[in-house]
Structure 1
Amino acid sequence: MLQRQKDSGNQPTNYVPGRGRGAVGFITRSDIGPAKVDIGIEQDDDQNDYNDAKYDEWNGYSIPLFNMGDYDDEDREADLTYNSVDRKMEERRQKRMPTNLPEKPSIVNQFSDLKRELAKVGIDEWLSIPDIGDYSIKKKKQDKITPVPDSVIMSAQLSEKNLQTKAHDLNEIGEARGALLSLKLDKISDNVSGQSVVDKRGYLTSLASLPHLSENEIGDFKKARLLLKSVIQTDPKNSFGWIAAARIEELDGKLAAARSILAQGLQQAEDQEDIWIELSRLETPEKAKLILNKAIQTLPHSVKIWLNAVNKEQETEAKIKLLKRALEFIPNSVDIWKELVSLSSESEALVLLYKAVECIPKNLSLWLALAKLETYENAKAILNRARQNLPQEPTIWINAAKLEESAGKNKQTIAIVLSKGIKILKKNQVKIVKEDWLQEAEIAEKCSNVNTCYAIVKAITLEEDKQSDNSWKQDFTQFEQRASLHTARAIIAVEAERQNNFEIWKEYIEFERRHKDEDAQYFDQALELAVTNLPQIEQFWIELILRKQELQQNYLEVFEKSPKSENILLTLSKLEKQQGNYEKAYQYLQYIQDNLIPSDKTWVKMFKLMLLMNKQIEQAEKILTQYPQSDKLWILCGQAKINQKDYQGARSIFEEAIKILNNSLNVWLTYIKMECQQQLYTRARPLIDRAREKNPKSSQLWAQAIRLEIDAKNHKAAQFLLSKALQCCQLDGELWSLAIELEPKTTRKKKSADAVTLCVDNPYVYLSTAKVFLNEGKIEKAKRWLEKALILEPRLGDAWAYLYLIEKEILQQCISRRPKYGRLWKQAKETLNQKYDIEKILIEASKLAQKDIAKLE
């Protein structure tokens, strides 16, 4: 950028720039005309002889280099111009210089104001100054690498060969060195404790643990010392600079220097407690006591110094004596009172706490400690006094509730205390925050005050009184995830009783069911509360009856209190049937038939029971006249004929059922399975065609048709039917499981991978994949696939049967899941009849599974 030049006046007359250097300027012919211009330089060759003979080292040439002639007006004007320029430059320099400086200011004077500002720099600013590094221009020594001579390498190899022969010499050297060390160890003393006894065995270990400082660390110490020295000089009254400098020496292993620095610091900052404590820490125990005694005399109101002096004492009596002396100077120190109480016996502590609360009536912890040491009645009085001194402290009321619980009071009494406390706190302008009270409930749970936990939740919940508020769900989930089960239980129990909602009670029962293994009494309690608050809900009565039966308790008492509904009576009939009491089970069903309006479910149960009781089939068939639209009754009637091996009678029943229920898939499948079991495939195929006309997209009919061809050893027809079935039902898991089993062994895994990809999370596909691995003998992989299938469908009996082949320990898990699905499971159940238990059905199904795996070959 162009800058405006200052006006220095008019230029001299006939001024030509550079004329003194021999320049002639830009002169044209129009300027000089025809004549020759004389530019004022003499051209006399005689006068301008500048050879070496006429040169003198001191005076130069005898003849001037530039002979400008006489001093004329132009020369005078030029000198005046140059002088004026020099004056202006000098004035500008004078304006820039401070007025109070001497004529020639020194560097110290120039930087004096900056040095005064350094006093305001704090320790953190000093420490944050970055390291400038080494920018010196000195040449640094470089390590030279010299090749090792071959002779050294050869000698090392020879010494390695002779190592074994010289082992005994090394042992002798080691023994001699150990003897020498043992003599030196007796003369070594500890710098801190002053003791002269040293552990000789651990001496070499301690030597190995000594720090070895590198050159960089040594350089860091030097920089730190310089920096802290500047800090101390800047502010000598600040103890932090002295302490930091002493700790640098301590880190460098120079305890004496550290002590010396702190001793100097005491002279400057003896009114600061930190430097006394730091010096006592570095001294021996005896000297530390003397230093702290002097510190107490200097600063008798410093709590830290008194407590450090107490810690230096070894005897309990001496500590108590010192603490009592401290209380004479600082009677309102909570820390000293607490330390004194902790060192005293229970009786003495009780007396001390009474004095403490008189001296410091606004300290909550002292009141609570006193209440814990007193009896129940006295503790109540103490908490009342604490409440009067601290009317806005909710912790007092919570501890009062804990006191009532420890005295064996019931939940109602504890709840009254907390409810009253919340009201009084609100009168004293205390804001009731639900989250804080719930945290107190969690703390009470951790301290085993379960009733107090429940009472806190109930009091804070009823205080809000928001019927439409669903924030309790978030709190309930949060505490359950944090394993604070009593707090979570209290939250959902209080909400269930307050809202008396079926969904909340159901969630409450499910919560207790999840944690039943930890404490089953709460599960029973939840069921009892549910039937009490919602007696019209059949589900809760059934849950309670089943729980009583599980505990082998008398569930008939529950039945007497429960409403006499069909579902409850069916549950009781089922329990009696499982125990083998068929007559009693039949009586419950008869009660439904006589007093209620039975559904087809009741008639099915009655029909099955009549078959188990070996009643006449004609008597059982009379039920069909009342419920002809129930396919289950038709199937049971046909199954009874099959059990009697009256196949023609069964066909008549199934044909009659088809006429009435021509769209019932279960009737068609049962009829077809009967013909297949008799290996009457020519009868079964037309039945499948007729059934498919009524149910064209039924995957079960397609699967039954494919299995028929497999049993008939007609694999080509099975493959043809399978391809058509997959076109109709592309994502059916049962059809894909058949596709895996029909695939050749070499490509079976590929087909299994395709099925798993297409039919995501299908238990039948997982089951067939497990069968493939079982056939190959890969037990662990098969087990993982079976477990996946049972996660998706825990009641799949076939998966339990195959898993039972791998490990027998899953029997109890299978019984608890009560499986009911699966082709092999149903086949085993029909073979053994229904009066056998799950264990025997599982064993029979596993035998069928073993044969099924062999077919894959």
Structure 2
Amino acid sequence: MAAKNKSNKLAFLSMPAPASYVAGLGRGASGFTTRSDIGPAREGPSEEVIAEARARRGEEEVDPEQFQDPDNEYGLFAGMTYEQDDEEADKIYDKVDQAMDSRRKARREAREQGELAKHRAERPKIQQQFADLKRGLSAVTDSEWDSIPEVGNLTRKKRRKEDRSFVVPDSVLVGDRAKGEFENALDSRQQEVGGFVTPADSGILTDFVEIGQARDKILSLKLDQISGTTSTSGTSTSVDPKGYLTSLDSVVIKSDAEIGDIKRARMLFDSLVKSNPKHAPGWIAAACLEEHAGRMVAARKIIKTGCENCPKSEDVWLEAARLHNNNDAKIIFSNAVQHVPQSVKIWLAAADLESDPKAKKRVLRRALEHIPNSVRLWKETVNLEESATDARVLLARATEVIPLSVELWLALARLETPANAKKVLNSARKAVPTSHEIWIAAGRLLEQEANTPEKSSDLKTKELAAVDNTIELAVRELRKHGVLLTREQWLKEAEQCESQGSIRTCEAIVKATVAMEVEEEDRLDTWVSDAEGAESKGMVGTARAILAYALKVYPDRRNLWRRAAELEKMHGTRESLDALLSQAVKHCPQAEVLWLMAAKEKWLAGDVEAARVVLERAFNVNPESEEIWLAAVKLESENGNMDVARQLLQRARDVADTDRIWMKSAVFERQLGQYADALQTLETALTKFPKFPKFYIMQGQIHQKLKNITAARKSYATGMKACPKSITLCILASRLEEADGKSIKARALLERARLVNPANDELWAESVGVEERSGSSVQAKAMLSRGLQECPTSGLLWSLSIWSEPRPMRKTRSVDALKKSADNPIIICTVARLFWAERKIEKARHWFSRAVATAPDLGDTWGWWLKFERMHGVEEQREEVRKKCIAAEPHHSPVWQSVAKDDANRGRSVGEILEMVAAALQ
């Protein structure tokens, strides 16, 4: 019994272990697997077996690619989002993979290089196999090369035969020559009937002359039939017999695509007019389509049907008349006015068809019976009247029928006498109290009456004042009736009045409305901008009126007076400018520029005594003004009163005592040849103004002219110490040394000046000039490159760079210069000269004009332009350049200043200096 129980207890040892059983798991042991548990190694099932087993179990085959897309996941991770921590984990795994790969990279690459070297050693390339033989070819001589035999055909393939040529026999050439010949000899076998036997000897007689005559006769008969004045249906034909053949060139041959489009459009329009026969635009479009297709009969038939279905549409009747000739169109319009008697377009179109003025009047008067309130019909009827009396009667009737038409009232007022015109305008004002045109017409009528020659000045002034009162009353009355025109609209009306010749009405409108809708602090700027805008449009009267009103409000603004004076100088008369300047100096006595403008205008007018009076009045108000003192000195010196001018300068030095007055005193003495007095004046001036560079410049120039080089050098050196920033002083000192044969010292002076005045293009240009004059072109080009590096936008240096290049490279260099400094006038003038050199005359003239417009103060540009016009222009063009230069009054540029400031050219005009500059330029 005990043995049996023991055997039962140990029976589990022979039983198989559960699937999840791990021995010793309860005592903390971990499971492991030995080779005896696995068994011998064997091959796993194939893919076919796995697929068959899955099919028996009913499992679906899973696509491995579906797990690459998170949106297609299902099962355990289905519906989960790819969050930031997932992305970070993926990046960590990628970094780990990269690190593991880099650990073996060097070893892998070394192994691959070894395998490649071993492969190349076992199987070398063909070029490597013959490398030693190639090196041996270097020792082969020319004779050995020549002794190498030609390679024969070793391929054993059949080669293509070469083309062979043979001499063409003479018989072939003669035969080909005879192919293109015509038989120009007639058959001698002439028959009695006058014909010739054909080459085929068929017996048929042919007379080509008769055939040509018959053909011409038939064609003329056809053309005569076509050119008849009327066709069988009574309508005029449209064929010109003279241009019949040439007109065939204008026939448009439609392509298949166009024909197909026309067919489809015809089907659409046919469906449209059938589905909605009362739709007039559909009939019109269908008719236009047939007209475009060249089927005029069909088009007329369609539009006729449209007129029957849409008799109340004026567009259908107008289209029908257009598609027919004049006679048929008249019949169509006679039917149209029965259905649409209120259509103005139809009546006007019917009147246009009439060639006889009486018939046209009859049609329009018939139209007025049906539509008496049409302004357009009344205007057309009045325009046909040749007699002013008949037109006046018609307009009187028109204003009775249409009292609210401003156009008819104004037209009637224009035809009436001045007395009756006032009555008409009063009636119009009562009928249409909201019309500003009637008030403006009344103002123009008053102005017209005031400007009659027989009126006295007092009466004329009174009536002109009535114009202002009328416009002011108009503004008030219109405001009462709720008509509020803007300030811009009133100014446009003023400009329109000026364009029609009513200047006084224009001024009245400006006075009454220019201050509307403007804040007090913005009035001056607004009025000035309005005046400039009117002047730019050519409305000088409007601009003058705006400035006059502004001067009444701001009489103490000198800039405003100067702006008005400039306007009068450009567009007004000498008397109006004189009157304006007289008022200006009264209101702004401290404005020196206004006194000077007034004196200059008197002087230019030839009244020197009046100019002296103006300057004396200016002295009394501005005793310390150097501008007025210098103007008085210039006036006396220009008129030859040297003693008076010297006395004025003495008084000016005592009263004003400015550096400019001392400088003009020295200049005055130098121009008279009194060099000792000039030097004495400069010595005194330097004690008062030691920092004024022009004193040192003049002193050095006078010493240099007197051949005292040492004194001149001393003056320049002293000036450079006192005024190190003076560019002109440094340049003159350098030129003095260069003229004395000391180019090295000249370079040193310019080098020191460039250190004191960095990035100065004039100093760099002078340094380049020193190198060129010394004969060192290479050094000059290097100096120019350095200058462009320091002054990359200098037009002066870029101009020198362009001319230093060879001629083929100048165009490219000029393009670079324009990119760096596009609006520089020196560059623009240089480009003009390049076009001049290439004989591109119109382009050169355009660029010269652009250069002077960019900087009109540069005199050398005007000189180059005049020099150009001397060679390629006519006298009118040269005169235009002179006028523009005189108006611009240039003062700068090297050559211009050297000519203008020369003592020998004292007193010369701008035009004379221009001629001398043009001759001096090279």
Q: TM-score, normalised by structure 1?
A: 0.64
Q: Decide whether the 8 Å contact of 2:632 with 2:648 is kept in 1.
A: yes
Aligned residue number for residue 661 of structure 2: 602
Please list the CA deviations of residues 386-420 of structure 1 after superposition, one character each: whole Å capped at 9, or x if unmatched: 11111112221222223233334576543332221
1:536 equivalenced with 2:627 (yes/no): no
Residue from 354, 374, 399 that aligns with 1:333: 374
Structure 1 position 349, deviation (Å):
1.0
Moved more, 381-390 or 665-674: 665-674
Cα distance per residue 1:717-756 (max 9 Å; x no partner) = 8789889888987877767777888899999999988887
Instruction: Show CA shifts across 1:154-194 (max 9, x none).
Output: xxx99998699999999767734542334423556258973
Matches within 5 A, 1:772-787: none
Letter in 2 for 1:340: T
Cα deviation 1:59-104 (Å, max 9, x = unaligned): xxxxxxxxxxxxxxxxxxxxxxxxxxxxxxxxxxxxxxxxxxxxxx
Counterparts of 1:405-424 in structure 2 under 5 Å?
Answer: 405-408=447-450, 412-424=465-477
Q: Secondary structure, in 3 states, of the residue corresponding to 1:592? A: helix
Runs of 5+ unmatched residues, structure 2? 1-176, 186-206, 452-460, 871-877
Code of the aligned partner of 2:486: V
Distance (Å, rounded) in 1 between the aligned partners of 2:301 and 2:586: 81
Q: Residue in 2 aligned with 1:364? A: 406
Residue 386 of structure 1 aligns with an amino acid whose one-letter code is: A
Alignment partner of 1:462 out of 497, 505, 515:
515
Answering whether residue 631 of structure 2 is matched by residue 571 of structure 1, we say yes
Q: State the Cα distance separating 1:320 from its structure 2 match.
A: 3.1
When the two chains are superposed, the root-mean-square deviation of aligned CA atoms in Å is: 5.4
Mapped pair 1:677 → 2:739: yes
Q: Is contact 1:434–1:460 with CA below 8 Å preserved after alignment?
A: yes
Report the alpha carbon displacement of residue 816 of structure 1 after superposing the two structures with TM.
Answer: 5.2
Shift of the 394–698 alpha-carbon distance from structure 1 to 2, 3 Å rule, reads closer
Q: Deviations over 1:670-705 (max 9, x none)?
A: 455445434466886887799789879977667667
Q: Distance in 2 between matches of 1:427 and 1:313?
A: 48
Contact 1:307-1:336 within 8 A present in 2 as well: yes
For residues 726 and 240 of structure 1, what CA distance do their matches in structure 2 show? Answer: 72
- Matched residues in 2 for 1:685 and 1:275: separation? 92
Match of 1:100 in 2: none
8 Å contact from structure 1 (residues 189, 197) kept in 2: no
Percentage of matched positions with identical amino acids: 34
Amino acid at match of 2:441: N
Aligned residue for 1:75?
none
Amino acid in the other structure paired with 2:440: I
C-alpha displacement of 1:457 = 3.2
Aligned AA for 2:487? K
- SS of the aligned residue for 1:462 comes to coil
Cα distance in 1 for residues equivalent to 2:657 and 2:350: 89
Taking the aligned partners of 1:261 and 1:758, their CA distance within structure 2 comes to 69
CA distance in 2, matches of 1:688, 1:282: 88
Amino acid at match of 2:491: L
Answer whether contact 1:786 1:799 (CA < 8 A) is retained. yes
Question: Which residue identity does 2:230 align to in structure 1?
Answer: S
Q: Give 1:674-823 correspondences, 5 Å limit.
A: 674-679=736-741, 794-796=856-858, 806-808=868-870, 809=878, 817-823=888-894
Letter in 1 for 2:906: K
The alpha carbon displacement at 1:537 in A equals 2.1
Task: Check conservation: 1:280, 1:292, Cα contact below 8 A.
Answer: yes
Q: For 2:616 and 2:342, how far apart are their aligned partners in 1?
A: 77
Match of 2:391 among 346, 349, 365: 349
Q: Which residue of 2 aligns with 1:426?
A: 479
Distance 2:350 2:815 in 1: 77
The within-5 A match list for 1:58-457 is: 175-185=216-226, 187=228, 189-190=230-231, 194-195=235-236, 200-205=241-246, 209=250, 227-228=268-269, 230-236=271-277, 270=311, 285-286=326-327, 288-289=329-330, 292-293=333-334, 296=337, 300-344=341-385, 345-408=387-450, 412-457=465-510
Q: Aligned residue for 1:835?
A: 906
CA distance in 2, matches of 1:197, 1:168: 33
For structure 1, the residue ranges without an aligned partner over 5 or more in a row are: 1-156, 851-857
Pairwise CA distance, 1:197: 10
Greater mean deviation of Cα atoms: 193-202 or 367-376: 193-202
Partners of 1:417 and 1:265 lie apart in 2 by 57
Instruction: Write out per-residue CA displacement over residues 18-68 of structure 1, whole angstroms, 9 at most, x where no aligned residue.
Output: xxxxxxxxxxxxxxxxxxxxxxxxxxxxxxxxxxxxxxxxxxxxxxxxxxx
Matching residue of 1:49: none
Q: Distance in 2 between matches of 1:168 and 1:211?
A: 35
Asked whether the 8 Å contact 2:317–2:332 carries over to 1, the reply is yes
Q: Which of the residues 669, 672, 682 maps onto 1:613?
A: 672
> Matches of 1:666 and 1:216 in 2, distance apart?
80
CA gap 1:823/1:462 in 2 versus in 1, 3 angstroms: closer
Q: Which amino acid aligns with 1:835?
A: R
Structure 1 CA distance for aligned equivalents of residues 810 and 774 of structure 2:
22
Cα 1:527–1:677 shift into 2, 3 Å: farther
Secondary structure of 2:423's aligned partner: helix
**8 A contact 1:193–1:285 mirrored in 2:** no
**Code of the aligned partner of 1:423:** R
Q: Kindly provide the amino acid, as one letter, of the partner of residue 602 in structure 1.
A: I
How far the C-alpha of 1:355 sits from its partner, in A, is 1.5
* In structure 1, C-alpha distance between the alignment counterparts of 2:392 and 2:792, rounded to whole Å: 83
2 CA distance for matches of 1:422 and 1:255?
A: 59
1:164/1:450 Cα in 2 relative to 1: closer, same or farther (>3 Å)? farther
2 CA distance for matches of 1:626 and 1:697?
Answer: 32
Relative to structure 1, the CA distance from residue 278 to residue 632 in structure 2 (aligned partners, 3 Å threshold; closer, same or farther) is closer
Superposition map of 1:517-536 within 5 A: 531=585, 534-536=588-590
Is the 8 Å Cα contact of residues 405 and 449 (structure 1) preserved in structure 2?
yes
* The one of 681, 691, 694 aligned to 1:632: 694
Q: Distance in 1 between the 2:817 and 2:858 partners?
A: 19
State how far apart, in whole Å, the 2-side matches of 1:236 and 1:778 are. 68
Q: Secondary structure at the match of 2:230?
A: coil
State the AA in 2 paired with 1:636. M
Quick one: structure 1 residues 227 and 747, their matched pair in 2 at CA, closer, same or farther if it must change by over 3 Å?
Answer: closer
Which AA in structure 1 matches 2:376? D
**Partner SS, residue 383 of structure 2:** helix
User: May I ask how many residue pairs the two structures share in their alignment?
Assistant: 691
Q: Are residues 547 and 225 of structure 1, via their aligned partners in 2, closer, same or farther at CA, if it must alter by over 3 Å? A: same
Could you tell me whether the CA contact under 8 Å between 1:624 and 1:634 is conserved in 2? no
The 3-state SS of whatever aligns with 2:519 is coil
* Worse-superposed segment, 564-573 or 238-247: 238-247
Classify 1:217/1:696 alpha carbon distance in 2 versus 1 (closer, same or farther; 3 Å).
closer
